[in-house]
Each structure stands twice: as C-alpha cells, then as structure tokens.
C-alpha cells in the first residue's frame, strides 16, 4: 500500500470503522467530486457507486463544475435530464 501518512491512517480508520461498526454492503456517493482513496476501493471492491446528473454535452466545457452547472441547467429552463451511475474500480 502506497499512501501519504496523514491520509493513509485516516482512510484505514474509515475502513476499520465501517467494517467493525456497520455491516456495509455498498457505498453510494452522490456527485462526489474528489479522488477516492485506493484503500477504500480495495476494501469495498465493486461496492462503491457514484451517481450524478448526465448533463453533457449541453452543460459542459471550461469552467462548468459544481453548482455553476446546476444553475445553468435551471436558467436554461431544461425540464428533463438523465442520471449516470458509475461503479468505481481500480
């Protein structure tokens, strides 16, 4: 396992806490925009999912991230969007 000391210990504690305290079947991330540590992906294999709206290509490009995208969708008057579900893996 290769990781930075401060993050490595933190994520090892999260995995330990999940395994000891809860019977975790899967982890669902809703529009999570940060890198997922390798330790968590290894610990939960194909049990981590990320969901987010599918707004490309209509609402994409330079500077379109976070709430700016959602504000642009609302301002456009769009009535429908789709949803993307991704399974995380290494």
Catalytic residue annotation? 52
Domain annotation covers residue 19: no
Contacts of residue 88, defined as CB under 8 A and 6 or more positions apart, other chains included, come to 36, 41, 48, 49, 50
Tell which wins on pLDDT, 71 or 9.
71
Residue 43 resides in a domain: yes
What's this model's pTM, rounded to 2 decimal places?
0.63
What pLDDT digit, counting tens, does each position of 35-69 carry?
Answer: 777 777 888 878 889 888 888 888 888 888 778 88
Q: For position 16, what pLDDT does the model report?
A: 75
Residue 1, pLDDT > 70, answer: no
Task: Tell whether 38 is covered by a domain.
Answer: yes
- Phi first, then psi, for residue 80 (nearest 5°) are -135, 145
List, for residues 5-27, the tens digit of each pLDDT value.
456 666 677 777 777 777 778 88
Residue 2 lies inside a defined structural domain of this protein: no
In the chain, the number of structural domains is: 1
Q: Give a yes or no: residue 73 inside a domain.
A: yes
Domain encompassing residue 33:
25-87
pLDDT at 2: 43
Residue 17 located in a structural domain:
no
In a domain, 51, yes or no: yes
């Amino acid at each position: 396992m290769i990781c930075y000391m401060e993050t490595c210990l933190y994520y090892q504690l999260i995995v330990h806490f999940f395994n000891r305290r809860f019977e975790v079947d899967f982890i669902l991330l809703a529009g999570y925009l940060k890198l997922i540590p390798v330790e968590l992906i290894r610990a939960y294999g194909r049990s981590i999912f990320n969901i987010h709206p599918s707004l490309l290509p209509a609402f994409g490009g330079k500077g379109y991230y976070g709430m700016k995208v959602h504000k642009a969708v609302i301002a456009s008057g769009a009535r429908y969007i789709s949803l993307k579900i991704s399974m995380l893996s290494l």
